[in-house]
A and B are shown apart, each in its own frame.
Chain A
Amino acid sequence: MTLEQAIPNFADWVFEAIRFLPIFMIVFAAAGFMIGYLVSAVRRGPVEGFYAVATVIGSAVVDIANTSVRRTLAMAMLAVQESIRRKVLVAFAVFIVVLLFAGWYLDVKSDNPGRLYLSFVLTSSNYLVLILALFLSTFSLPADIKNRTIYTIVTKPVRGTEIVLGRIIGFMAVGTAILVAMCLISYLFVVRGLSHEHRVDGEIQVTSTELSPDGSLQGSTTYDSHHRHTITMFDDETGETDVVMGHHHAVELAADGYQIGPPEGALAARVVRRGSLRFKDRSGKPGTGVNVGHEWAYRSYIEGGTLAAAVWTFDGMTADRYADGFNLELNLRVFRTHKGNIEKGILGSITIRNPDTGARIRSSEPISFAATEFSIDRQFIPRQLKAIDSDGTVSDVDLFEDLTDDGKLEVWIQCSERGQYYGMAEPDVYVLENDGNFAINFIKGFVGIWLQMLMVTTFGVGFSTFLSGPVGMLATLSTIVVGLFRQFIVDLVSGSMEGGGPIESLIRVLTQANVSIDLDIGRFPTLVVKFLDARFLDVLNVITMSLPDYAGFSTTEFVATGFNIEPSLLAMQVLRALTYFVFVTLIGYFFLKTREVAA
């Protein structure tokens, strides 16, 4: 899996967020007040307008303080009943139908059916639920206003907060029920879809010692579900197959012959420890990696056969955590400047080093490995390592006693082949802590979907307090689209996207000017165009930054590629979603409060 952005440390993030929140709240309140006052002043004049805004703010405090749970739940209940009447279960039926037909168009011969199945169920649940939330949330309140059923509501002691909150809670209850059902069915679908059986094909026999140095028994399974495995027996009774299509099987010798177990490893949830990355350039000095040109700047490259190295520093590496050593997983990219032996991986080395520069033993002997491109290598780093001490003699050292400093440890990765490069980013190399529980990870993936649904519902209800149904739906849809294209807009604003803003782009399109040449319309017009574009981009930036990053909320990739969704990531998402929930609910309340329901 490629993590496009490193997950920030939760504590740092929360600290930053808490520091930023008051500023945000002041800006938010000030902006709200200014807009409210401007509108009010235009309608009623400057003094009356100010008085009206003050009244609204005063009554808002009273309303929020008097918000009753019973009334809110009554509104929520009504939203649930309304959803059922609006045949919300159709969405669920669509999901079932999609699953039933899935078998027809999912590639059963895929290299990794587990990943395929998981992305499929997660993506389809995600989109269906978001569409459902979009329709439910945006049409309800406008329909109430249009049918005037709202008259009998707002003439009761119901606060605007209760109307907005009740709807969000009600629609979320419906969505949650559907999502839980989808989660269960998806899980069964994936587990059943991946389950298959093999038998031993032919006999298991001693193969030549060349292939199997210890002279163990090898054989092959039958061809089932579009694949077969090779069996290797560790001893007379237990063995394992190789990994094909993302899974392997255990093999056991029972009374009635060899038994091959169910598929294992297809549904994983790796719990990983991530380190921080720095680079050494080709002369061994601290530096940055190389950009190999066509690649996107996310990964940096180190040159083979030089002193260039990628150094990860891991924290918390202690003997009680990893009694026998640890598993290091590498997801390196390879950039070849010459073809070399295309059948074989590019060779490299892993060195474990002590970050303490005054330590007696600085570094282990290099452990060599061949990088397999496009798949994850797992290297076991044993506790007992060979090391060269300061005298130049090779000795046995203990990983934790001799090579760590207060739990810190450095992993140096170098490419050994001259003219070839390794590419890496910080999340590409990590220590595998253990294999987490897949089912829990699967649920966490659905929690991510749930949070997206919460935001769509909140925005939908928020927009529906002042827009008609279809317009509100389009507005909510726009927030999703902007959220999904957030990275593009960020790049555009930061200037890393070539071609300039909308006016400049238009001029380039019309004059057929390449994006890489300077704008040729004269000095002053260029300044004007650039200035206007910059202001437009500023506005776009503010809008983008204040809308949720839906792509960032999607954790389906983690589940599909078998990584545990880190609790800190989930916690950040929950906090982000709740912040949106609170602020959008407030905005919705003010819109509802200041509109004429009967107009």
Chain B
Amino acid sequence: MSESMTADALPEETTDASASDVVVETRNLSKVYRDFWGRQKVNALKALDLEVKQGEIFGLLGPNGSGKSTTIKLLLGLLFPTSGQALVFNKDASDVSKNERIGYLPEESYLYKFLSATETLDFYGRLFDMPADVRRDRVNELISMVGLDWAKRRQLKEYSKGMTRRIGLAQALINDPELILLDEPTTGLDPIGTREMKDLIITLREQGKTVLMCSHLLADVQDVCDRIAILHQGELKELGRVDSLLKVQDVTQMQAQGLSKEAEEKIRAIVAEDGGELLSLENPTTTLEELFLSIVTDSEARPGRRAQGDN
């Protein structure tokens, strides 16, 4: 009783940690790509352990070829693991029934170019066995949500990249999924489109949905993700909450208004007295970009080692 009360009182961060809320779990997940003769070609993913909890936006980050897409494909059952397990909603990734609760936006929107927007969404609606009337409402709703009302009768081959991306997102949401997997959601979008996509991802979280996205666009990840995992050469290098990962522990930032010259002088004096050095009167967080680059450099220098400490 007291425990549950404590839990309620604590910030969200702690509530998330309860084990029953785990939506996506990988255990020792590994993938080796082999050639026709069974010879090992690429060790794409090495013993990945991850947990994504309900209601969070989880970002998989890494340079090209780091294993982000492989992880997502393993979670979707598009690839089979060489060893280890990929579980979604506590079911094996190869179980088709998990797809009822999943939405997936692939890296590029792999859609049928000869269908119009309406036909596309209707088709995917049928794949969820939705009855005709439900399907019609849902299709119209999604088309207005992604702002393509004006072009819904046009074949997708006439669509720009941004428009295709939007319709790709709409198809990922057709079943009102609980878990949404986004593979590079902002590639090919202009700044406004990117902004809208990010807003939408945050809206999805507000609706209680779980989002697992992978990207190499750091700013996007920084803006929306609650937690991130950084992969490099198939290995997990960093895992934690974005805010704590980016906090620079030995720098203090202070912002104040209406301080007099004397007060500023006093502060400088205190800093000097303590043996500190006043850098500036602002106290920034680092950018994700810096963190990312440092991890990649570190990893290349010392491969196989988990960079830095836990969050």
Binding site for B on A (CB under 8 A): 55, 59, 62-63, 66, 68, 70-71, 73-74, 77-78, 81-82, 85, 147-159, 596-599
In the bound complex, what is the Cα–Cα distance between A202 and B227 (angstroms)?
Answer: 104
Smallest CB-CB separation from B92: which chain A residue?
A55
Contact status B106-A81, CB under 8 Å: no
Cα separation A28 to B16 with both chains bound (whole Å): 51
Q: Is the CB of B123 within 8 A of A77?
A: yes
Known pairs A156-B99, A157-B96 / 16 extra A-B pairs, C-beta < 8 Å: A62-B97, A70-B126, A71-B127, A74-B123, A78-B112, A78-B123, A81-B115, A149-B112, A151-B76, A151-B104, A152-B111, A152-B171, A154-B76, A155-B78, A157-B100, A157-B129
Tell me whether B240 is interfacial, beta carbon within 8 Å: no
B80 CB-CB contact with A under 8 Å:
yes
Cα separation A74 to B119 with both chains bound (whole Å): 11
Query: Residues of A contacting B77 with CB < 8 Å?
Result: 154-155
A73 to chain B, nearest CB (A): 8
Q: A70-B126, A151-B104, A157-B128 are in contact. Are A596 and B79 (CB under 8 A)?
A: yes
Residues of B within 8 A of A154 (CB): 76-78
Determine which of A63, A82, A152, A157 lies in contact with B106 in the assembled complex, contact meaning CB atoms within 8 Å.
Answer: A152
Looking across the interface, which residue of chain A has its beta carbon closest to that of B33? A599
Contact check, A151 vs B106: say whether CB atoms are below 8 A apart: yes
A599 to B110, CA, bound (A): 16
Could you tell me if B110 and A155 are in contact, using CB atoms closer than 8 angstroms? no
Instruction: Determine the distance from Cα of A77 to Cα of B100 in the docked complex, in whole angstroms.
Output: 21
Size range of the chain B interface in the assembly:
20 to 34
Cβ contacts under 8 Å, B111 to chain A: 149, 152
The reply to whether B126 and A596 contact each other, CB–CB distance below 8 Å, is no
Residues in chain B within 8 A of chain A (CB atoms): 33, 73, 76-80, 94-97, 99-100, 102, 104, 106, 108, 110-112, 114-115, 119, 123-124, 126-129, 168, 171, 175
**Of listed B97, B100, B114, B129, residue having the most chain A CB within 10 A:** B129
Which residues of the other chain, A, contact B104 by a CB distance below 8 angstroms? Answer: 151-152, 155
What's the minimum C-beta distance from A442 to chain B, rounded to whole angstroms? 35
Most buried by A among B79, B97, B127: B127
- The residue on B at minimum CB distance from A85 is B114
Q: Of A157, A596, A598, which is within 8 A of B127 by CB?
A: A157
Query: Shortest distance in angstroms between A36's beta carbon and chain B's nearest beta carbon?
Result: 14
What chain A residues lie within 8 Å of B79 (beta carbons)? 596, 598-599
Given the known interface contacts A154-B78, A157-B97, the answer about A82 and B128 at a Cβ–Cβ threshold of 8 Å is no
Chain B residues near A70: list those with CB within 8 A: 126, 129
Tell me, rounded to whole Å, the shortest Cβ–Cβ distance linking B27 to chain A: 16
Which residues of chain A are near B119, meaning CB under 8 Å? 81
Q: In whole angstroms, how far apart are the Cα atoms of A70 and B135 in the complex?
A: 12
> Which residue in chain A gives the minimum CB-CB distance to B70?
A598
Residues of B within 8 A of A68 (CB): 129
Bound together, the chains give a CA A159 to CA B100 distance in angstroms of: 12
Q: How far is the CB of B70 from chain A (nearest CB, A)?
A: 9
A304 to chain B, nearest CB (A): 68
Residues of B within 8 Å of A71, CB to CB, are: 126-127, 129
Docked CA distance A189–B255 (Å):
92
Chain A residue numbers with a CB within 8 Å of B108 are 148
Most buried by B among A63, A70, A73, A77: A70
Q: Which of B78, B114, B127 contacts A151 (CB 8 A)?
A: B78
Bound CA span A74–B126, Å: 6
| Distance A82 CA – B111 CA, assembled complex (angstroms) | 12
The secondary-structure label for the interface of chain A is helix
From known contacts A59-B95, A82-B112, infer whether A598 and B78 are also in contact, taking CB-CB under 8 Å. yes
- Min distance, Cβ B132 to any Cβ of chain A, angstroms: 9
B contact residues around A147 at 8 Å (CB): 110
Q: A74-B123, A78-B123 are in contact. Are A155 and B99 (CB under 8 A)?
A: yes
Alpha-carbon distance A153/B111, docked complex (angstroms): 9
Q: How distant is A394 from chain B, measured CB to nearest CB, in Å?
A: 80
Assess the A158–B114 pair: CB atoms within 8 A. Answer: no
Q: Are B124 and A152 in contact (CB under 8 A)?
A: yes
Contact yes or no, A598 B73, CB < 8 A: yes
10 interchain residue pairs of minimum CB distance: A74-B126, A598-B78, A156-B127, A85-B114, A148-B110, A155-B104, A157-B99, A149-B110, A598-B73, A151-B106
Would you give the shortest CB distance from B187 to chain A, in whole angstroms? 15
26 residue pairs bridging A and B, Cβ less than 8 Å apart:
A59-B94, A59-B95, A63-B96, A66-B96, A74-B127, A81-B114, A82-B112, A85-B114, A148-B108, A148-B110, A149-B110, A149-B112, A150-B110, A151-B76, A152-B104, A152-B124, A152-B171, A155-B102, A156-B128, A156-B175, A157-B97, A157-B129, A597-B78, A598-B78, A598-B79, A599-B33
Which chain B residue shows the least CB distance to A147?
B110
- Distance A71 CA – B95 CA, assembled complex (angstroms): 17
Residues of A within 8 A of B96 (CB): 59, 63, 66, 157-159
Chain A residues with CB under 8 A of B110: 147-152
B99 near A82 with CB under 8 A, answer no
CA distance A148 to B105 in the complex (A): 12
Instruction: Report the Cα distance A299→B48, complex, angstroms.
Output: 74
List the A side residues contacting B76 at CB < 8 Å: 151, 154-155
A64 to chain B, nearest CB (A): 12
CB distance from B110 to the nearest CB of A (A): 4
Docked CA distance A130–B60 (Å): 49
Pair A158/B78 contact, Cβ less than 8 Å: no
Specify which chain A residues have a CB less than 8 angstroms from the CB of B129 in the assembled complex: 68, 70-71, 157
Q: B114 touching A153 by the CB < 8 A rule?
A: no
Give the residues in chain B near A62, CB-CB below 8 Å. 97
- B-chain residues with CB within 8 Å of residue A153 when the two chains form the complex: 127
Question: How far apart are B176's CB and chain A's nearest CB, in angstroms?
Answer: 13
Bound CA–CA A147/B112 (angstroms): 9
- Bound together, the chains give a CA A147 to CA B107 distance in angstroms of 12
Instruction: List residues of chain A with CB within 8 A of the CB of B95.
Output: 59
Q: How far is the CA of A75 from the CA of B241 in the complex (A)?
A: 42
Q: How far is A63 from B97 in the complex, measured between Cα atoms in Å?
A: 9
Residues of B within 8 A of A63 (CB): 96
Closest to B103 in A: A155
Specify which chain A residues have a CB less than 8 angstroms from the CB of B123 in the assembled complex: 74, 77-78
Question: Closest CB-CB distance, A230 to chain B, in whole Å?
Answer: 62
Residues in B whose Cβ lies below 8 Å from that of A596: 78-80
Q: How far is the CB of A567 from chain B (nearest CB, A)?
A: 38
CA distance A570 to B78 in the complex (A): 43
Cα separation A74 to B124 with both chains bound (whole Å): 8
Q: Which residues of B contact A81 (CB under 8 A)?
A: 112, 114-115, 119
Name B77's closest neighbour in chain A (CB-CB): A154
Q: How far is the CA of A55 from the CA of B79 in the complex (A)?
A: 16
A154 to B127, CA, bound (A): 10
The minimal Cβ–Cβ distance linking A386 to chain B, given in whole angstroms, is 75
Q: How far is the CB of A146 from chain B (nearest CB, A)?
A: 10
Residues of A within 8 A of B126 (CB): 70-71, 73-74
Cα-based distance from A157 to B110 in the complex (angstroms)? 17
- A66 CA to B110 CA in the complex, in Å? 26
Complex: how many Å from CA A483 to CA B97?
40
Nearest CB to that of A43 among chain B residues? B38
Q: Tell me the bound Cα distance from A78 to B123 in angstroms.
A: 8
Q: Find the A residue at minimum CB distance from B132.
A: A70
A149 nearest in chain B by CB position: B110
**CA A597 to CA B94, docked complex, whole Å:** 12
Which residues of chain B come closer than 8 Å to A85, judged between CB atoms? 114
- Which residues does chain B contribute within 8 Å of A77, judged by CB atoms? 123
With beta carbons under 8 angstroms apart, the residue of B80, B106, B128, B171 that contacts A148 is B106
